[in-house]
Amino acid sequence: MFVEAMLRWLAIARAVVGSAGRIAVMDRYAVCQYASLRSHGADRWERFARIAYRVFPRPDVTFLLWLPPAEAQRRIEARGTDHESLEYLVRSAAAYRAFAEPAGFVVIDARGDAAQVAAAIWQQLTDRLPVYGPTAPGSIH
């Protein structure tokens, strides 16, 4: 878990430095490591992870894509590139729900297809960061 947390820290650091002065969109951030630690029963390390990850800027918006654990497992298996047990996915969902941070999360129902989920994210994003205006997804370069 320590190695995974450090590798994720390095990946985030690289992305943050590389996107300086620009918008960065990340599919994982610090809170994902806290959830991973809790999901793997390594709660005692979360305090240290929070200290290590504190150097990174707070996101302007965090989207939490909600999907029932059984459906998440079905999709993971359908991809055929990795595997997660249903028990782990249940623990992971509980970990995200347990954070104080979710009060600021924008929860997106991810049960739809990719286009529906993208449209929901885009709508929430343009509502929160109106600098983008009503342009369609994919029009920002």
Rounded CA-CA distance 82/131 in Å is 38
Closest CA to 69 of 102, 50, 37, 97: 97
What is the rounded distance in angstroms from the CA atom of residue 113 to the CA atom of residue 124?
Answer: 17
pLDDT of residue 68: 96
Rg of the chain in Å (alpha carbons): 16
Average pLDDT over the chain reads 87
pLDDT tier, 139 (very low <50, low <70, confident <90, very high otherwise): very low
pLDDT digits (tens, 9 = 90+) for 79-137: 999 999 999 999 999 999 888 666 788 889 999 999 999 999 999 988 877 665 555 55
| Per-residue confidence (pLDDT) for residue 100, from 0 to 100 | 65
Confidence category of residue 23, pLDDT binned at 50, 70, 90: confident
Residue ranges per domain, the chain? 1-58, 61-141
Say whether pLDDT at 141 is over 60.
no
